[in-house]
Structures are given as structure tokens and as C-alpha cells.
């Protein structure tokens, strides 16, 4: 059923993706930095979805549970698109020098706090770290596709559990390094010790929301039972999503609280930049999406309705997309919202092409068959 839904959506998604690409190509003649900023933000959002799905598959290997068995086909479909998402990051390598001030300005022209970080913030070391993350994620992709295959045992095993535990550690460390490089380094004067955890929780919330949305759309008959008698599978998945969203909310609030209490100019400026020039609208919409979802997840009746679950999952996914936009896009302060259609075109291009790739016939089987690690 999941392959049928995606295959039907793939042609339309492909057309949307190509139209978005055409819009980005046209935007290069008008505002090339705007295209770089839009593609940068959209690519980071897209990459986080398969990474979050990989993490969730490994979590399920460790914990078991009916929620994971119900979402596994969809999570595997999302995770299988990781090579496509990584390919979408490649054009950004051409924009490193114009995007990062520390990559093209002399050291003496940079703030003192940034000068102290130049041993870490330099292009050769940056590229080495990016390549290391890509290699680690491709290995994790291979691992997750193998140990979560339909032929694997339904109950957690010691061997698969050890692989999953190692994979989760590598996932956390690699996303921490990647988020510092590709997100925080856009504004290197800002410091946050929880930023990597915010990114990992956001990735897993987004992937879980997308998988829940696809599962809800694929339910054509009565909703199956969940892990306990009288509990539907949609309740189990919504409860999991509720927990991940609350974790993200806690981390985001703690970062804000610590910055507010410290009252340091560089940290405060990061929030000030996201509270003006129209970004305050994105802030309140993002907060509203998560507030509506958290409140609705308290209603058992809504969690037992496939249509309501689909809407709530879509709201969480939209909130996650806005979170990525809110954290990344204002860093490109030299761009203008007058060209916001370029941002829309970039998201349409990358989301459309990723969905088209996910709907390719037998994509999962072809990718899983290449995984060198057997469960």
C-alpha cells in the first residue's frame, strides 16, 4: 500500500520538483545569494528527514513495540532516500566562500571571537568533516536498512541491538558536528551547547511526523490494534510523536532561557535577528504549530481518527520545516524577503524530487539489497 501511494504521487511530485528547479535557475539571474540561502535551508530540511528515519529505525531495534512495526515500511521508505538527499547538498559546496564570512574575509577583519575559532573554521577542515559525516551516514543508512528489514527478527536481539546502539552514538555525534558546521557556523559568534540535540530531536520529530502522515493516508480499512487491548495503532504512534515534540520543545525553551539569563550581546543578537524583518511571523507560526499539536495529542478521540492523525502529523511536519527555516534562513541577512518566491521554489524543487525518488518502483528493495551488514 505504501508503494502504491508513493508511486501515484511520484509523477506529480516530479513535475513540482522540476518546476521548482526552473524557478531556482531563473532566480540565479536575479539574486544568486537568495538562491544559495533558499537551497541551503531546504537541503538541510530534506537531509534531516532520512537521518531522523534512520535513527528511529535503530531506536525500534533496541526497544521493539507495535508503533515501530506499523511505521517501519514508511520509515524505511524515508530512510532509503538518504543518498538522494546527500546529492542535493553537493551544490552548496560551490557556495562556501560567499556564504561563510570566515571563508573569504581576512582574519583581521573578523570579530575576535571568530578569530579564535579559525583553527576549526577553515575550508579544508570543513570539507574533511563534511566528507566524514557523509561516509558515516551512508554506513548508518546501510546498517539501518539491513537490521530493520522484513526478514529480521521481530524481537530485539543482542547482536542487532549492539549494532543499533553503536549506530545511534555515531548518529548523535555526526549530527552534532554537522549542525555546528552547516548551521551554527553561519553565525559563528553565537554559541549553544544544546544546538546539536535540538537538531537531532527535530530530525526525529519530522521523520516520525512524515511516517505517521503516510501511514494515516494508507489506512483504508479499520485502524489496527496497537500494543495494548483497546488501544489503536494511531494512538501509539501519536503518543510517540507527542513525546518527541515535547523533547524538542524542552530543548528549544532551555536554550532560550539560558541565553536570556546570560544576557550576552552575541547570543541575544541571534534571537533579535529572528524577531524582526518579518521573521517574527515565522516564529509565531512555528510556535502555534507545535502548541496546536501538543494540545490535540491530549485528546484520545482525535488520536483514534485517521483523518485527525493525518492533519496533526502534517502540522508537526510543517512546524519542523519552519523550525529549520527559523534557525537557518535569517543568518543570510544580506538577502531580502522580496524574493521569497525563490525560497518557495527551492522547497518545491527538493521536496518534489525527494518524493519522486521515494516513489520509484522497488526503491527499498534495490537499496536494501546493497546493504553489506546482515541482521
Angle at alpha carbon of residue 348, lines to 346 and 353, rounded to 5°: 100
- pLDDT tens, 162-199? 889 999 999 999 999 999 999 999 999 888 889 999 99
Res 4: pLDDT: 65
Contact 374/152 with Cβ under 8 angstroms? no
Helix (H) or strand (E) holding 35: helix 32-63
Res 2: pLDDT: 53
H helices of 64-157, in order, are: 66-79, 82-89, 96-99, 101-104, 112-115, 123-147
Split at pLDDT 50, 70, 90, the class of 338 is confident
What proportion of the chain, given as a percentage, has pLDDT over 90?
51
Q: Is residue 63 part of a domain?
A: yes
Q: Is residue 329 part of a domain?
A: yes
pLDDT of residue 375 exceeding 50: no
SS (H, E, C) 279-339: HHHHHHHHHHHHHHHHHHCCCHHHHCCHHHHHHHHHHHHHHHHHHHHHHHHHHCCCCCHHH
Contact 182/39 with Cβ under 8 angstroms? no
Res 374: pLDDT: 44
Contact 312/302 with Cβ under 8 angstroms? yes
Contact 223/215 with Cβ under 8 angstroms? no
Greatest Cα pair distance, the chain, in angstroms, is 67
Rounded to an integer, what distance in angstroms lies between the CA atom of residue 300 and that of residue 72?
Answer: 23
Q: Is residue 374 part of a domain?
A: no
Split at pLDDT 50, 70, 90, the class of 358 is confident
What global pTM score does this model have? 0.91
pLDDT of residue 84 exceeding 50: yes
Nearest alpha-carbon partner for 238 in 154, 295, 319: 295
Write b or e for each residue in 198-219: b if 16 or more Cβ atoms lie within 10 A of its Cβ, otherwise e. bbbbbbbbbbbbbbbbbbbbbb
Q: Is residue 273 part of a domain?
A: yes
Split at pLDDT 50, 70, 90, the class of 37 is very high
pLDDT of residue 1 exceeding 70: no
Task: Quote the domain boundaries for residue 340.
Answer: 2-368
Q: Is residue 375 part of a domain?
A: no
Res 220: pLDDT: 65
Rounded to an integer, what distance in angstroms lies between the CA atom of residue 351 and that of residue 71?
Answer: 20
Q: Is residue 373 part of a domain?
A: no
Contact 3/332 with Cβ under 8 angstroms? no
SS (H, E, C) 227-242: CCCCCEHHHHHHHHHH
Q: Is residue 363 part of a domain?
A: yes
Contact 168/58 with Cβ under 8 angstroms? yes
- pLDDT tens, 274-303? 888 888 888 999 999 999 999 999 998 888
Domain count, the chain: 1
Q: Is residue 47 part of a domain?
A: yes
Rounded to an integer, what distance in angstroms lies between the CA atom of residue 327 and that of residue 180?
Answer: 12
Amino acid at each position: 500500500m505504501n508503494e502504491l501511494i508513493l508511486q501515484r504521487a511520484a509523477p506529480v511530485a516530479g513535475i513540482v520538483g522540476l518546476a521548482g528547479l526552473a524557478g531556482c535557475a531563473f532566480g540565479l539571474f536575479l539574486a544568486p545569494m537568495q538562491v544559495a540561502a533558499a537551497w541551503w535551508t531546504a537541503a538541510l530540511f530534506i537531509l534531516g528527514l532520512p537521518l531522523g528515519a534512520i535513527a528511529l529505525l535503530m531506536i525500534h531495534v533496541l526497544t521493539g513495540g507495535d508503533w515501530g512495526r506499523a511505521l517501519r515500511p514508511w520509515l524505511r521508505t524515508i530512510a532509503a532516500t538518504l543518498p538522494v538527499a546527500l546529492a542535493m547538498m553537493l551544490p552548496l559546496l560551490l557556495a562556501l566562500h560567499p556564504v561563510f564570512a570566515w571563508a573569504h574575509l581576512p582574519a583581521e577583519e573578523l570579530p575576535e571571537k571568530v578569530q579564535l575559532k579559525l583553527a576549526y573554521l577553515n575550508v579544508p577542515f570543513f570539507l574533511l568533516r563534511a566528507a566524514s559525516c557523509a561516509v558515516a551516514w551512508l554506513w548508518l543508512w546501510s546498517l539501518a536498512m539491513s537490521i530493520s528489514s522484513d526478514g529480521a527478527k521481530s524481537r530485539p536481539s543482542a547482536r542487532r541491538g549492539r549494532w543499533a546502539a553503536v549506530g545511534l552514538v555515531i548518529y548523535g555525534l555526526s549530527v552534532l558536528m554537522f549542525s555546528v558546521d552547516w548551521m551554527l557556523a553561519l553565525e559563528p559568534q553565537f554559541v549553544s551547547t544544546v544546538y546539536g540535540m535540538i537538531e537531532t530531536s527535530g530530525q526525529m520529530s519530522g521523520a516520525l511526523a512524515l511516517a505517521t502522515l503516510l501511514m494515516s493516508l494508507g489506512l483504508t480499512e479499520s485502524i489496527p490494534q496497537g500494543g495494548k487491548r483497546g488501544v489503536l495503532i494511531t494512538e501509539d504512534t501519536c503518543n510517540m510523536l507527542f513525546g518527541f515534540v515535547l523533547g524538542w520543545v524542552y530543548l528549544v525553551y532551555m536554550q532560550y532561557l539560558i541565553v536570556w539569563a546570560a544576557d550576552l550581546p552575541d547570543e541575544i543578537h541571534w534571537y533579535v535577528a529572528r524577531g524582526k524583518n518579518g521573521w517574527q511571523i515565522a516564529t509565531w507560526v512555528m510556535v502555534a504549530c507545535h502548541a496546536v499539536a501538543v494540545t490535540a495529542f491530549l485528546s484520545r478521540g482525535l488520536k483514534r481518527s485517521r483523518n485527525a492523525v493525518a492533519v496533526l502529523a502534517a502540522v508537526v511536519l510543517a512546524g519542523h520545516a519552519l523550525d529549520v527555516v527559523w534557525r537557518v534562513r535569517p543568518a543570510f541577512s544580506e538577502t531580502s524577503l522580496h524574493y521569497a518566491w525563490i525560497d518557495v521554489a527551492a522547497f518545491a524543487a527538493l521536496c518534489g524530487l525527494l518524493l519522486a525518488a521515494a516513489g520509484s518502483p522497488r526503491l527499498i528493495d534495490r537499496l536494501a539489497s546493497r546493504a553489506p551488514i546482515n541482521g
